[in-house]
Amino acid sequence: MANVAAATAPVAGVSKSSGTGAALAIRLSAVIVAATTEEPRVLAVRIGSTPVVALPSGPLEVEHRTLEVGLRAWVERQTGQKLGYVEQLYTFGDRDRVETGDDRPARALTVAYLALVREARAGGPFDALWQSWYRHFPWEDWRSGKPAALGPLEERLARWAESAASDGERQLRSERFGLAFAASWNEELVLERYELLYEAGLVAEAWRDQGRRPPAPDLPASGAPMAADHRRILATAIGRLRGKIKYRPVVFELMPPAFTLLQLQRTVEALAGVRLHKQNFRRLVEQQGLVEETGGITAATGGRPARLVRFRREVLLERPAPGLRLRPVRRVGG
């Protein structure tokens, strides 16, 4: 049975070189996103004797004709999920990403992908599960006002910025903190916020990677850790998707064939982590020509029967950037 976390076991897909440096281990990882009307969900697997959550992953193997073919094979083998929309996300190859090869250390290069699907029951030989991505990033959900997790983290980050050894470093830390955690919250800066928390030692991965335990008291509201650097990969995917829904209609990859405008709005809000003005959102959808009526109605909304609509695919041919430019409502407590 293949392992899925880059830091847990020797891997295949190792390219030998004649030099004295480490060999190269190429891995494929998938951030697989689905969404209910209120919750963005990511498909994960539990691995290890002390279970830790990881993204579906595996090494690039000789029989894989392309990277994407290899990724799809690993995902289906580990979770039973067939992938539809897939795009390459980023290649992670920092010098300290090293695995143990057969005869010497292997430099780990991970090619990560973002996949959008409609949620299906997870299967496969691993303990696969769907879970909210806000379990790992509780400070990213502003739909009910400023997240409770954010205050303690901001206080610790401010102290970290002031603790820098030099004036220059102190200024740099303060500027990065101010930009990433500004009152005018930029929902796309998910990775920048996670990287700051990692550098400040406010997420469990920072201590684990140094082979140390976090000092008491425990880390405040820092979210659930993931295997290896998989939370960093997930942060990259969330930021990418939040940006992409503004200029490409990718959100419809997550919607059922027919849905209401309110269901569409709630799904976009769940992904972006912000509340949107209802009338402005509907006006934008209509002006962009993104949907068309099916002729059906539903009473499942709990109120008045609502019209069912579907994505109008012709919009892809009509203009280059048919997305949803978000206009959040005024935040409460921010």
| pLDDT tens, position by position, 70-114 | 999 999 999 999 998 899 999 998 655 555 444 555 677 899 999
pLDDT at site 329? 65
Asked whether 206 and 199 are in contact (CB, 8 A), the reply is yes
pLDDT bin (cut points 50, 70, 90) of residue 50 is: confident
In this structure, the answer to whether residues 96 and 208 fall within a common structural domain is no
In a domain, 78, yes or no: yes
Q: Are residues 71 and 122 in the same domain?
A: yes
pLDDT bracket for residue 319 (50, 70, 90): low
299-328 burial, b if ≥16 CB within 10 A, otherwise e?
A: eeeeeeebebbbbbeebeeeeeebbbebeb
154 and 115 in one domain? no
Instruction: Answer yes or no: is 23 within a domain.
Output: yes
pLDDT at site 294: 95
The residue type of 245 is I
What would the two tokens of residue 115 be? 């996949």
pLDDT given for residue 36 in this prediction: 85
57: domain CATH number? 3.90.79.10
- Predicted confidence at residue 119, as pLDDT, reads 83
- DSSP percent split of the chain into helix, strand, coil, nearest 5: 30, 25, 45
Task: Kindly compute the dihedral angle of the four CA atoms of residues 272, 255, 259, 131, in this order, to the nearest 10 degrees.
Answer: -70
Domain final residue pick, 73, 104, 134: 134
Residues 288 and 176 in one domain: no
Predicted local distance difference test score (pLDDT) of residue 6: 38
Query: Within a domain: residue 199?
Result: yes
- Per-residue model confidence (pLDDT) at position 102: 47
Same domain, 63 and 130: yes
Burial class (CB in 10 A: 0-12, 13-18, 19+), 73: middle
Q: How confident is the model at residue 3 (pLDDT cuts 50, 70, 90)?
A: very low
Global pTM value: 0.87
- One domain for residues 123 and 42: yes
The pLDDT of residue 273: 96
Residue 69 falls inside a structural domain: yes
pLDDT per residue over 17-39, tens digit each? Answer: 444 555 788 899 999 999 988 89
Q: What is the pLDDT confidence band of residue 115, given thresholds at 50, 70 and 90?
A: very high
Please tell me the distance from the alpha carbon of residue 35 to that of residue 24, in angstroms, as a whole number: 36
pLDDT at 54: 95
Please tell me whether residues 213 and 309 are part of one structural domain: no
Stretch 251-271: mean pLDDT: 95
Give residue 22's Cα distance to chain centre: 30
Please tell me the predicted confidence (pLDDT) of residue 11.
Answer: 36
Q: Which residues of 242-254 are buried (b: 16+ CB within 10 A; e: fewer)?
A: bbbbeebbbbbbb
Which has more confidence, 216 or 254?
254
Could you give the CA distance from residue 7 to residue 33 in angstroms, rounded to a whole number?
23
State whether 88 and 164 are in the same domain: no
Residues 24 and 114 in one domain: yes
Instruction: Give the count of domains, the chain.
Output: 3
Domain CATH number, residue 288: 1.10.10.10
Task: Give the mean pLDDT of 281-300.
Answer: 90
In a domain, 234, yes or no: no
Average pLDDT over residues 195-211: 92
Give the whole-angstrom CA distance, residue 164 versus residue 173. Answer: 8
Taken in order 132, 136, 141, 147, is the CA torsion positive or negative? positive
Measured CA distances, 314 to 29, 178, 291, 319 (Å):
32, 42, 10, 10
Domain containing residue 172: 141-223
Q: Are residues 196 and 297 in the same domain?
A: no
End-to-end Cα, the chain, rounded Å: 48
Decide if 309 is inside a domain: yes
- Joined together, the tokens standing for residue 228 give 């290896």
User: Does a structural domain hold residue 3?
Assistant: no
Q: Residue 268 pLDDT more than 80? A: yes
- Enumerate long-range contacts of 178-183, CB under 8 Å, 24 or more apart: 181/150, 181/154, 181/157, 183/334
Share of the chain above pLDDT 90, in %: 62
**Single residue among 101, 134, 167 that ends a domain in this structure:** 134
Kindly indicate the confidence band of residue 4, based on its pLDDT and cuts at 50, 70 and 90.
Answer: very low
Q: pLDDT higher for 330 or 171?
A: 171
Res 304: pLDDT: 81
Confidence of residue 325 (pLDDT cuts 50, 70, 90): low
Q: Is residue 7 part of a domain?
A: no
Please provide the average confidence, as pLDDT, over all residues in the chain. Answer: 85
Question: Domain boundary residue among 104, 134, 164?
Answer: 134
Instruction: Specify whether 154 is located in the same domain as 126.
Output: no
What confidence category does residue 51 fall into, taking pLDDT thresholds of 50, 70 and 90?
A: confident
199 by Cβ neighbours in 10 Å (0-12 / 13-18 / 19+) ranks as middle
The pLDDT value recorded for residue 16 is 46
Residue 34 and residue 88 in one domain = yes
The band of 321, judged by pLDDT with boundaries at 50, 70 and 90, is low
Looking at per-residue pLDDT, the higher value among 303 and 246 belongs to 246
